[in-house]
């Protein structure tokens, strides 16, 4: 059982959370969660994935500062994630966007970014009948990682990248760079939630199913 889920369970038992999601009430609670996840061995990028916050926000939480709060929006999609059928439904929407932007049959490989982009990437690839592979982030954090050789290839292929949330875009930029260095052509980035005002990243069109921007 993950630390976040244990925390959620305790809050649910106290009546401070609903079956549909965790209600985080304060910055201090997020800081406690982030700190405990760090103690469990997660790096800042993995903590950001777990809490659906930007790496800048995680770095701020871990410093213990109370000023210079970075702008951010916390995204929770656990209601989707608990059921494979719901993930498939979102994947179908993403796949429809891919075919709208890229054209029918024009995508060779879908790249899902670990860890949260893998399930969505798998469903997109299944829907459009393309190959699928994974960009694995490393323990060093800051978006560093590599493309897996166990699945589809990107060399000489037209590629779509799929992830759950785009925050700072650091991991996405590194993924695009890795694909290009491997000989692939990145035609589109699709995310469940785009937390920025950007419509492209590193020259690649960016489509979010939902846009959530701090105001």
Q: Report pLDDT digits (tens) over 197-214.
A: 999 999 999 999 999 987
Q: How far is CA 185 from the centre of its chain?
A: 21
Segments forming the whole domain that contains residue 162: 80-211
Q: Are residues 111 and 29 in the same domain?
A: no
Q: Are residues 68 and 97 in the same domain?
A: no
DSSP 141-191: -TT-EEE-SSS---TT-EEEEEEEEESSSHHHHHHHHHHHHTT-EEEEEEE
**pLDDT single digits (tens) 24-77:** 557 888 888 888 888 888 887 788 778 878 778 888 888 877 777 777 777 888
Q: Which of 72, 94, 111 is the C-terminal boundary of a domain?
A: 72
- The model's pTM: 0.78
Q: Which of 72, 92, 114 is the C-terminal boundary of a domain?
A: 72
Q: Are residues 90 and 12 in the same domain?
A: no
Q: Which of 44, 72, 100 is the C-terminal boundary of a domain?
A: 72
Length of the chain: 215
CA–CA distance, 25 with 211 (Å, rounded to integer):
23
Q: Are residues 64 and 165 in the same domain?
A: no
CATH of the domain at 159: 3.40.50.2020
| pLDDT surpassing 60 at residue 20 | no
Q: Are residues 90 and 160 in the same domain?
A: yes
**Higher-confidence residue: 34 or 22?**
34
Mean pLDDT of the chain: 86
Q: Are residues 68 and 116 in the same domain?
A: no
Q: Are residues 162 and 179 in the same domain?
A: yes
**pLDDT single digits (tens) 86-132:** 999 999 999 999 999 999 999 999 999 998 999 999 999 999 999 99
Give me the number of domains the chain comprises: 2
CATH of the domain at 21: 1.10.10.60
């Amino acid at each position: 059982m993950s630390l976040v889920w244990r925390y959620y369970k305790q809050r649910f038992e106290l009546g401070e959370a609903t079956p549909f999601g965790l209600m985080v009430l304060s910055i201090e609670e997020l800081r406690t969660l982030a700190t405990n996840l760090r103690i469990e061995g997660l790096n800042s990028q993995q903590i950001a994935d777990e809490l659906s916050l930007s790496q800048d926000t995680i770095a701020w939480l871990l410093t213990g500062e109370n000023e210079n709060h970075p702008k951010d929006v916390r995204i929770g999609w656990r209601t989707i994630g608990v059921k494979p059928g719901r993930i498939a439904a979102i994947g179908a929407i993403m796949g429809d966007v891919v075919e709208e932007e890229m054209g029918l049959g024009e995508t060779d490989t879908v790249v899902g970014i670990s860890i949260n982009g893998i399930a969505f990437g798998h469903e997109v690839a299944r829907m459009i009948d393309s190959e699928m592979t994974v960009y694995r982030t490393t323990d060093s954090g800051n978006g560093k990682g590599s493309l897996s050789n166990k699945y589809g290839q990107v060399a000489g292929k037209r590629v779509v990248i799929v992830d759950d949330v785009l925050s700072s875009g650091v991991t996405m930029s590194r993924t695009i760079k890795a694909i290009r260095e491997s000989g692939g052509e990145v035609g589109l980035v699709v995310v469940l939630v785009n937390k920025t005002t950007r419509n492209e990243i590193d020259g690649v069109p960016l489509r979010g199913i939902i846009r959530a921007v701090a105001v």
